[in-house]
Chain A
Amino acid sequence: MSEIQRPLPKPTPETQHFWDGCREGELRLQRCTRCANTWFPPRPFCPACACREVEIYTASGKARLHSYVISHRGHPGFGKEPYAIAVVKLEEGPQMMSNVVGCPQTPEALLLDMPLEVTFEQQTKDESIFIPLFKPVEG
Chain B
Amino acid sequence: MADSFALKPRSVAVVGAAETTKMGLIPDMSQLGLHFDCALNAMTDAGLKPSDIDGVATGGEDVAVLAHMLGITPKWVDSTDVGGCSYMIHVRHAAAAIAAGYCSTVLITHGESGRSRVGSPGYAMSAASMAGQFEAPYGVTGAPSMFTIPVLRYLKETGSDIEDLARVASIQREWAAMNPRATRREPITVEEVMNDTMIAWPFTKAMCCLVTDGGGALILTSAERAKDFPTRPVYVLGTGESSEARLISQMEDFTSSRAFRVSGKQAFESSGITRDDVDHLMIYDAFAHLPLYGLGDLGFCKPDEAKHFYRERRTAPGGSLPTNTNGGGLSYMHSGRYGMYALQESVRQMRGIAPAQIEGAKISLCHGVGGMFTASGTVVFTNES
Binding site for B on A (CB under 8 A): 4, 6-12, 15, 19, 40-41, 66-75, 77-78, 82-83, 85-87, 95-99, 107, 112, 123, 131
Is B139 in contact with A99, judged by CB distance below 8 angstroms?
yes
Binding site for A on B (CB under 8 A): 125-128, 130, 132-141, 144-146, 148-153, 156, 197-203, 247-250, 254
A7 to B136 alpha-carbon distance, docked (Å)? 6
Is A67 in contact with B152, judged by CB distance below 8 angstroms?
yes
Q: B137: which of A67, A69, A131 is its contact (CB, 8 Å)?
A: A131
Is B198 in contact with A99, judged by CB distance below 8 angstroms?
no
Q: Which residues of A contact B200 (CB under 8 A)?
A: 69-73, 85
Q: Which 5 A-B pairs have the closest CB atoms?
A: A9-B133, A97-B249, A10-B127, A67-B153, A70-B201
Q: 8 interchain pairs (CB within 8 A)?
A: A9-B133, A10-B128, A10-B133, A12-B133, A68-B149, A74-B141, A97-B249, A112-B152
A85 to B149 alpha-carbon distance, docked (Å)? 8
Q: Told that A71-B200, A87-B150 touch, could you supply 16 new A-B pairs with CB distance under 8 A?
A: A6-B136, A9-B134, A10-B126, A10-B132, A11-B128, A41-B250, A69-B145, A69-B201, A71-B145, A73-B145, A73-B200, A75-B139, A85-B138, A85-B200, A112-B152, A112-B153
Q: Which residues of B contact A6 (CB under 8 A)?
A: 136-139
A4 to B133 alpha-carbon distance, docked (Å)? 16
Q: Which residues of A contact B134 (CB under 8 A)?
A: 9, 41, 96-97
A-B contact count (CB 8 A): 118
Beyond A6-B137, A73-B144, A99-B139, is A87–B128 a contact (Cβ under 8 Å)?
A: no
Beyond A69-B148, A73-B141, A73-B145, is A97–B128 a contact (Cβ under 8 Å)?
A: no
Q: Which residues of B contact A11 (CB under 8 A)?
A: 128, 133
Instruction: Identify the closest chain B residue to A66 (Cβ).
Output: B153
A131 to B138 alpha-carbon distance, docked (Å)? 9
Is B141 in contact with A75, judged by CB distance below 8 angstroms?
yes
A73 smallest CB distance to B (angstroms) = 5
Q: Which residues of A contact B126 (CB under 8 A)?
A: 10
B249 smallest CB distance to A (angstroms) = 4
A6 to B134 alpha-carbon distance, docked (Å)? 12
A82 to B108 alpha-carbon distance, docked (Å)? 41
A82 to B202 alpha-carbon distance, docked (Å)? 12
Is B128 in contact with A12, judged by CB distance below 8 angstroms?
yes
Is B247 in contact with A9, judged by CB distance below 8 angstroms?
no
Instruction: Identify the closest chain B residue to A84 (Cβ).
Output: B201
Helix, strand, loop or mixed for chain B's interface?
mixed
Q: Which residues of B contact A15 (CB under 8 A)?
A: 133
Instruction: Identify the closest chain B residue to A105 (Cβ).
Output: B201
A98 to B134 alpha-carbon distance, docked (Å)? 8
A72 to B203 alpha-carbon distance, docked (Å)? 10
B61 smallest CB distance to A (angstroms) = 27
Is A85 in contact with B139, judged by CB distance below 8 angstroms?
yes
A86 to B149 alpha-carbon distance, docked (Å)? 7
A99 to B149 alpha-carbon distance, docked (Å)? 12
Is A72 in contact with B133, judged by CB distance below 8 angstroms?
no
Is A69 in contact with B203, judged by CB distance below 8 angstroms?
yes
Beyond A10-B126, A85-B145, A85-B149, is A95–B203 a contact (Cβ under 8 Å)?
A: no
Is B139 in contact with A112, judged by CB distance below 8 angstroms?
no
Beyond A10-B133, A95-B249, is A66–B254 a contact (Cβ under 8 Å)?
A: yes
Is B203 in contact with A87, judged by CB distance below 8 angstroms?
no
Q: Which residues of B contact A8 (CB under 8 A)?
A: 127, 137
A70 to B138 alpha-carbon distance, docked (Å)? 12
A104 smallest CB distance to B (angstroms) = 13
A119 smallest CB distance to B (angstroms) = 14
A9 to B137 alpha-carbon distance, docked (Å)? 7
Q: Which residues of B contact A83 (CB under 8 A)?
A: 139
Q: Which residues of A contact B250 (CB under 8 A)?
A: 40-41, 95
A116 smallest CB distance to B (angstroms) = 14
Instruction: Identify the closest chain A residue to B148 (Cβ).
Output: A69
Q: B201: which of A41, A75, A82 is its contact (CB, 8 Å)?
A: A82
